[in-house]
Each structure stands twice: as structure tokens, then as C-alpha cells.
């Protein structure tokens, strides 16, 4: 109706794709496959799953991802507030048809300093070396309520958190990032979506 593209569907937070509890993981896989089926019926382009990689869980994650059933939709794996892109790459190399969703707040909370251009470039190199920059398909635009490397996931309004204006300017200036679709996941309040959209439009001019 609004001719928006791409159509993006986010998984619910209920599935536990890396739990060692077999019965819970089986239920999680079933739930994800049902969600993917509905997303494909809606004509979705991307289906997003959080990929938090901790020690000892890589094989569990690989097994879960190998059992997902999808035909027309692309699975995007999203970094979390404790993800390292190098570790995500270990998993993603086995699933070349899956892509990456980059969450700005999660990256910052995981220790990637988006405010410094040199650190931002280092992060891009890590993504390209271990995942492939061409597999990055979508950005979740969020500032962070918590400081660099906090490993605590708290989204905030664009330019008003710890990432601040400079971090987003670095993102919008980048030749590849600037071509990607972005979705804001900022806190909800009266008029806040319009405020955050104005902030994105303003900072993308630099």
C-alpha cells in the first residue's frame, strides 16, 4: 500500500536458539519455522534472528540454523550487545545464503567505538574479513543508553545517547553503509519517531 521496500520481519524474542536444553531448543526451532513460514506468506524479503555467540554455543547455533526452513526469504543474523563479528563469521561461513543485520547500539555496547573513525574502519575491516561486507543488508539505527562495551542492551534516541551525533555521522558517511536500508528501534513516545527521523535526516547530510 505504501510501496515500502524491503519488507523486513523480526523474529520474536521467545525462541532460544542456543540453549543446551534439547526440548526447549526443539520448540524454539519449531517456533522459528512457523514464523518464517508466516513471513514468507506476507511476502517478506528479510527475516531477522538475533545471533548472540558465547563460548561453547557455536555448534548448537549451527545445528539450529541448519534446520530452518526457508525458500523465498533471506535470513539475516543480527549482532547482539556481546557479539564479536569475528565469532559471527565462524558460524556464517557455513551459511553463505544468510546475511547480516547490523545494530548500531548492539555494536557499541559490544565494544565497537563508532564515534572514532579509525575504530569504525577497524570494525568494517573485521566484518569484511570474517563475514564479507557484501552480506551486510540492513541497519538497525539505535543510540545506546549504556556506555561503550557495557554488554547491556538499552536503545535510545538517535544522537542523544552514548554513540552521539559523531557515531552516526561516521555511519552515514561510509560509502557502503549509506546505501543500506535502515530501521529505527528507538524508544516509543509521543512524537519520538518523527524526532528520531529528523535526527537521521540531519546527521546524514554531513
The set of cell numbers assigned to 198 is 529528523
**What is the distance between the alpha carbons of residues 154 and 159, in angstroms, rounded to a whole number?**
14
Beta pairing class for 155-156 and 182-184: unpaired
pLDDT confidence of residue 53: 57
Residues in the chain, how many? 206
Q: Are 98 and 46 in contact (CB under 8 A)?
A: no
pLDDT at 76: 98
Residue indicated by cell numbers 557502503: 176
Helical (H) or strand (E) element with 47: strand 46-50
Torsion angle (degrees, nearest 10) of CA 124, 127, 133, 138: -90
pLDDT the model gives residue 120: 98
Superfamily of domain 8-203: Divalent-metal-dependent TIM barrel enzymes (3.20.20.150)
Q: Report pLDDT for 72.
A: 97
- Residues of the chain short of pLDDT 50, as ranges, are none
Q: Mark 52-86 as b/e (b = at least 16 C-beta within 10 Å).
A: bbeeebbebbbebbeebebeebbbbbbbbbbbbbe
Running DSSP on this structure, what letter comes out for residue 145? S
Closest CA to 79 of 118, 53, 115, 113: 53
What residues does each domain of the chain span? 8-203
Instruction: Show Cβ contacts of residue 94 under 8 Å, excluding neighbours closer than 6 positions.
Output: 62, 65, 66
Q: What is the pLDDT of residue 56?
A: 54
**Nearest residue to 103 (alpha-carbon basis) of 130, 137, 128, 133:** 137
Amino acid at each position: 500500500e505504501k510501496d515500502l521496500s524491503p519488507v523486513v520481519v523480526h523474529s520474536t524474542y521467545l525462541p532460544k536458539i542456543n540453549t543446551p536444553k534439547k526440548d526447549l531448543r526443539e520448540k524454539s526451532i519449531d517456533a522459528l519455522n512457523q514464523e518464517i513460514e508466516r513471513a514468507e506468506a506476507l511476502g517478506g524479503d528479510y527475516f531477522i534472528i538475533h545471533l548472540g555467540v558465547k563460548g561453547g554455543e557455536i555448534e548448537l547455533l549451527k545445528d539450529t540454523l541448519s534446520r530452518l526452513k526457508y525458500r523465498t526469504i533471506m535470513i539475516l543474523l543480527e549482532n547482539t550487545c556481546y557479539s564479536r563479528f569475528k565469532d559471527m563469521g565462524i558460524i556464517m561461513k557455513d551459511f553463505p545464503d544468510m546475511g547480516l543485520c547490523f545494530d548500531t547500539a548492539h555494536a557499541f555496547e559490544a565494544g565497537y567505538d563508532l564515534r572514532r573513525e579509525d575504530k569504525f574502519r577497524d570494525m568494517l575491516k573485521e566484518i569484511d574479513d570474517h563475514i564479507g561486507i557484501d552480506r551486510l543488508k540492513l541497519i538497525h539505527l539505535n543510540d545506546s543508553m549504556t556506555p561503550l562495551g557495557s554488554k547491556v542492551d538499552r536503545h535510545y534516541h538517535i544522537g542523544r545517547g552514548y554513540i552521539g551525533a559523531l557515531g552516526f555521522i561516521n555511519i552515514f558517511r561510509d560509502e557502503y553503509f549509506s546505501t543500506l536500508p535502515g530501521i529505527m528501534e528507538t524508544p516509543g513516545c509521543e512524537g519520538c519517531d518523527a524526532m528520531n527521523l529528523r535526527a537521521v535526516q540531519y546527521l546524514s547530510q554531513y
